[in-house]
Amino acid sequence: MIFVKGKKNMGIMLIILLGVFTIVLCMVEVPKMLSAKEYKEMIVFFIILSFGVITAVLKILGVQLPNPQGVVIFVNQPIVDIIKGVLEK
């Protein structure tokens, strides 16, 4: 973990820096989307931004996150099996 042996301040600084970056990004992008009335895009923006911020904070805290490749394989494996079955005939 990053909060071990005197590195607690570094983790806090990284989280604060992430927060500042997120606020600046929102201050730049949200007014553009509001003026263009892109409400659906703004919802997607906040969902993706939230996912990224949560992932970054968890990595800063030293939490082990699963590899996304496993999810991709799990989702696509049935499709691959069907295609292989069709091609082998």
Rounded to the nearest integer, the mean pLDDT of the chain is: 90
Q: Under DSSP, is residue 4 helix (H, G, I), strand (E, B) or coil?
A: coil
Higher pLDDT, 44 or 70: 44
Segment 45-51 mean pLDDT:
97
Q: Under DSSP, is residue 47 helix (H, G, I), strand (E, B) or coil?
A: helix
**What are the sequence ranges of the domains in the chain?**
8-88
Question: For residue 33, is pLDDT > 90?
Answer: yes
Question: For residue 69, is pLDDT > 70?
Answer: yes
Selection from 82, 29, 20, 86 nearest residue 56 by Cα = 20
What is the reported pLDDT for 7? 64
Alpha helices in the chain (DSSP H): 8-35, 39-60, 68-88
Question: For residue 6, is pLDDT > 60?
Answer: no
Q: Give CA separation, 59 vs 4, 9, 17, 55, in Å.
A: 14, 15, 14, 6
pTM of the complete model: 0.69
What is the reported pLDDT for 3? 52
Higher pLDDT, 89 or 35: 35
